[in-house]
């Protein structure tokens, strides 16, 4: 069974949101705003909205979007870790 591209990116986004929540609460012990803690979701929304245009630009691969979501997640964690 092959997963659709949207499902792949959604699973990466869900994992990143859970990872952010766990790291902020249990590792860094900080309380963050709702907007910051859901940063990967916003990039997923951009992916869903622009996927029609992305096919024309040949950047509709789920790997690119998944890496971008992971980068945003790590950047968000890094801002609070410093």
Cα–Cα distance, 69 to 9 (Å, whole number): 9
Over its C-alpha atoms, the chain yields an Rg (Å, rounded) of 14
Mean pLDDT for all residues in the chain: 90
Residues 33-43 have pLDDT tens digits of 899 889 999 99
Is pLDDT at 2 greater than 70 in this prediction?
Answer: yes
Name the residue ranges covered by the structural domains of the chain.
5-81
Cα–Cα distance, 28 to 9 (Å, whole number): 26
Spacing of C-alpha 67 from chain mean position: 8
pLDDT at 76: 94
Residues 6-34 have pLDDT tens digits of 999 999 999 999 999 999 999 999 998 89
Question: Three-class SS of residue 79?
Answer: helix
pLDDT at 54: 67
């Amino acid at each position: 069974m092959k997963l659709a591209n949207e499902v792949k990116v959604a699973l990466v986004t869900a994992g990143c949101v859970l990872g952010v929540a766990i790291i902020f609460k249990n590792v860094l012990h900080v309380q963050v705003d709702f907007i910051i803690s859901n940063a990967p979701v916003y990039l997923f929304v951009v992916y869903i909205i622009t996927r029609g245009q992305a096919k024309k630009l040949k950047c509709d691969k789920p790997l690119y979007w998944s890496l971008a979501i992971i980068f945003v997640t790590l950047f968000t964690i890094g801002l609070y870790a410093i």
